[in-house]
Amino acid sequence: MRLRGKVALITGAASGIGRATALLFAHEGAAVSAVDLDEAGGQAIAQTIVDDGGRAIFLRCDVSQAADCQRAVGQTVEKLGGLDILFNNAGVIRRATVLDTTEAEWDRVMAVNVKSIFLLSRYAIPVMAQAGGGAIINTGSGWGLVGGRKAVSYCASKGAVVNMTRAMALDHGGQKVRVNCVCPGDTDTAMLRDEARQLGQSDEQFLAGAADRPLGRIGQPEDIAQAVLYLASDASSFVTGATMVVDGGGLAG
């Protein structure tokens, strides 16, 4: 029960890495605020946690909108009694070059992947600071550390997440708010399979290529959730401003 008594807000909680993290956090004793646009999936994960004896709520939220983010933080505090952990996990991807990316697509990727972290952190940090501290974990990507083909907006957004994490760690360490970043490699989620469709490949073909890394497989959402748990828990009490790569060795060489 490494998160006993903690309250965690998780974005993108209806599926993939967010869902796996919500379940793991609840298993470790946290009350979970599951935030997503997907109402059916979000309600389902919250109900699963409650049925297993945990505490959870679902909040529908467009993380690119300030009013929604402010409401999500406020309702989490009101209904669950505080906010100790913020997992900024919501994300989208557009597989295209500069020439094939529309302005609207660029803006959408930046709004969901970067602006959401700014907005939610802006409302969460004062709550955490008043309570004596907290932990923020941002979802970056291996493509926030190296470039990738036909993903210019996504690479730009995740590069911003990585360096934004460092800047936030510097700014808020004095308030006992730790800020770290987890950078997954290819992980078996709906978003990864959507990449295959965007590139005109079958799921099987795309996933086989993604498994070409030292450990010989793609990641599972639970693999990433374990890293997020470490960064959220007291086990990482002296870790802030860090980037944790969880990619089966994909960036090793």
| pLDDT reported for residue 54 | 98
- At residue 175, the pLDDT reads 98
Question: 232 lies in a domain?
Answer: yes
Q: Is residue 96 in some structural domain?
A: yes
Mean pLDDT of 144-166: 98
Sequence-distant (≥ 6) Cβ neighbours of residue 56 within 8 angstroms? 22, 26, 31, 32, 33, 34, 45, 46, 47, 49, 50
- For 175-227, what is each residue's pLDDT tens digit? 999 999 999 999 999 999 999 999 999 999 999 999 999 999 999 999 999 99
Q: What is the pLDDT of residue 38?
A: 97
pLDDT score for 19: 98
The answer to whether residues 58 and 141 belong to one domain is yes
In a domain, 1, yes or no: no
- The tally of domains found in the chain comes to 2
Q: How far apart are CA 181 and CA 201, in angstroms?
A: 30
Predicted local distance difference test score (pLDDT) of residue 88: 98
Tens of pLDDT, residues 31-70: 999 999 999 999 999 999 999 999 999 999 999 999 999 9
Residue 146 gets which letter from DSSP?
S
To 10 degrees, what angle do helices 66-80 and 116-130 make? Answer: 30
For residue 242, what pLDDT is reported?
98
What is d(CA 219, CA 207) in angstroms, rounded to the nearest whole number? Answer: 10
Residue 176: the pLDDT is 98
pLDDT computed for residue 42 by the predictor: 98
Please give the Cα distance from 83 to 95 (Å, whole number). 35
Domain of 114: which CATH number? 3.40.50.720
Residue 123 pLDDT more than 90?
Answer: yes
- If asked whether residues 11 and 128 sit together in one domain, one would say yes
Residues 115 and 60 in one domain: yes
For strand 177-184 and strand 243-246, is the pairing parallel, antiparallel, or unpaired? parallel
69, 154, 178, 240: the active-site residue: 154
Query: The domain containing residue 199 runs over which residues?
Result: 186-218
Residue 12 has pLDDT above 90, yes or no: yes
Give the mean pLDDT of 80-87.
98
**For residue 67, what pLDDT is reported?**
98
Give the pLDDT confidence of 220-249 residue by residue, as tens digits: 999 999 999 999 999 999 999 999 999 999
Host H or E run for residue 125? helix 116-130
Q: Which two tokens stand for residue 147?
A: 């470039």
Query: Does 250 map to a domain?
Result: no
| One domain, residues 207 and 84 | no
Per-residue confidence band for 253, with pLDDT thresholds at 50, 70 and 90: confident
Judged against a pLDDT cut of 90, whether residue 252 lies above it is answered with yes
List, for residues 88-102, the tens digit of each pLDDT value.
999 999 999 999 999
Q: Assess whether 230 carries a catalytic annotation.
A: no
